[in-house]
Amino acid sequence: MDALGDLLRGVRADGALFNRTVLTRPWETSRADGVALELITVVRGAARISVASGEPRFLREGGAAIVCTGEPFTLAAAGGGDLRAAGLDAGLGAGASAGSSAGCELVTGAYQLDSSVGRRLISALPPLLAVPAGEECMPIVELIAAEIAADRPGRQYVMDRMLDWMLACTLREWFDLPEACPPAWYRALGDDVVGPALHAMHDEPARPWTVAALAARAQVSRAAFARNFTDLVGRPPMAYLTEWRMTLAAELLAEPGATVASVAAQVGYADGFGFSDAFKRIRGIAPSGYRASLASRGENARALSARSA
């Protein structure tokens, strides 16, 4: 089981909105309608990023931030005084005076996510997270900046894939930071009792799991397993399994030619009726209605991308 890979399952940019901006003064922006997550990278200079519900974060060249909140957020070029206060002043030149704000070049990419898979990722992240510059991510930052300035065949497709790459790269580095706050189930993967059961559910979602079978996989009693699982993950084992199955089902329903019956079988349901009831209970919409909404969002995203091209 790849925990981060599971969080990113089905998260695929399609008609992502990109901007390349040079900041010389603060400005406030809100996410566009339908945008669930925005990735901000610093190409040149330094930036101050803040949302209303938390402390501002400062980024230097090569750093990245992810914003996944509906609140307005503020971006500003950061001067030498800002960076010194944040402890990021190593390597500042003599021209970076305490009050200077020499400008900052940013590249932003916005995901138009509204699937259950996307919501699962967003629920695992804070409203604002920041990752310092790293050698692994810097090459893709430069490639994205160059691609935005170009007008070559397949430009949108290339940028979509670059955004996916940058998102995975940024999240991988963030989860490794001491201050990261991953979801409870992510932390529980390392537990001797709960970890084996989580791996089993993620690796074989269609298997007819029971609490007893999962407890046997964890090599503890049924009562001890159920208690430990609920304490660490925040919900009972079968409730978590159903949510995970519906997450996978949402991804499968987006595939061309998928039927309710075929998806039901792939996530452990013997018939489409039981699956439809579970999907509607968890996601608030029937599988057929969910597929229709995906098609409608795809058409809107393509139209928006065509207008902005």
Per mean pLDDT, which of 70-79, 103-112, 135-144, 293-302 is the most reliable? 103-112
Which residues on adjacent β-strands are paired with residue 29?
73
Distance (Å, rounded) from C-alpha 271 to C-alpha 178? 45
Confidence of residue 92 (pLDDT cuts 50, 70, 90): very low
Q: In this structure, how many other beta carbons lie within 10 angstroms of the beta carbon of residue 223?
A: 10
Higher pLDDT, 159 or 232: 232
The pLDDT confidence band at residue 180, using thresholds 50, 70 and 90, is: confident
Residues 22, 42 contacting (CB under 8 angstroms): no
What is the structure's pLDDT at 31? 59
C-alpha 219: how far from chain center: 33
Residue 27 has pLDDT above 70, yes or no: no
pTM of the model: 0.68
Residue 95 confidence (pLDDT): 38
Q: How confident is the model at residue 250, as a pLDDT?
A: 87
User: What per-residue confidence (pLDDT) applies to 98?
Assistant: 38
Question: Sorting pLDDT into bands at 50, 70 and 90, what band is 232?
Answer: very high
